[in-house]
Chains A and B, each alone.
Chain A
Amino acid sequence: DAGVIQSPRHEVTEMGQEVTLRCKPISGHNSLFWYRQTMMRGLELLIYFNNNVPIDDSGMPEDRFSAKMPNASFSTLKIQPSEPRDSAVYFCASSESLDIQYFGAGTRLSVL
């Protein structure tokens, strides 16, 4: 299995632009998680889906952030409009069991 696949690996954009991050979970996994990692705050859960349904989005910082999972093999995290404070590494993870989450390589986002 190729593991969790995220794209793009790096994204540089200007403040105010829309950013879309993409994730393909491991086939057969029924839970998908979006995390943000910064030096200051560490690894924070933004939202997670179970069977394509958003279960908990309490970690989404504000309305500028939205996430979708239209099917079992694809999810997006969108930031509109982006701000410099959104600069971070965004990880997607998936799990089959309820415990072990497997992470993608991450998208490093820089908002100028």
Chain B
Amino acid sequence: EDKVVQSPLSLVVHEGDTVTLNCSYEVTNFRSLLWYKQEKKAPTFLFMLTSSGIEKKSGRLSSILDKKELFSILNITATQTGDSAVYLCAVRNNAGNMLTFGGGTRLMVKP
């Protein structure tokens, strides 16, 4: 059974801080890892990672995958209050079309 563990469970920082969120996984026949941001409503897609060592970047957010050590990190630099959300990590294997989600990291950015 595929498994995704995220850490920390929750995090409180101040605006301007840099944060690193962690995602470790166990999956048979890994295909991809995805990051989502969930505010009050639906999870919204951030990144999809398939290859080790290649950084994906979007503004102040970036993510990288290590397929040898089976983890990914999501970095947010110069955090803003609008970054407050639950960040979800999910993995997909080659066997099907399903995503297995981690429990999420709840980030709160204080002014």
Contacts and interface: CB of A to CB of B under 8 A. Distances in A.
B92 A98 contact: yes
Interface size class of B (residues with CB under 8 A): 20 to 34
A31 B96 CA distance: 11
Contacts of A101: 34, 45, 99
A103 B101 contact: no
A43 B88 contact: yes
A100 B83 CA distance: 21
Nearest to A3: B42
Given A100-B45, A102-B45, A103-B43, A43 B96 contact: no
B102 A42 contact: yes
Contacts of B101: 42-44
Interface of B: 31-32, 34, 36, 41-45, 48, 88, 92, 96-104
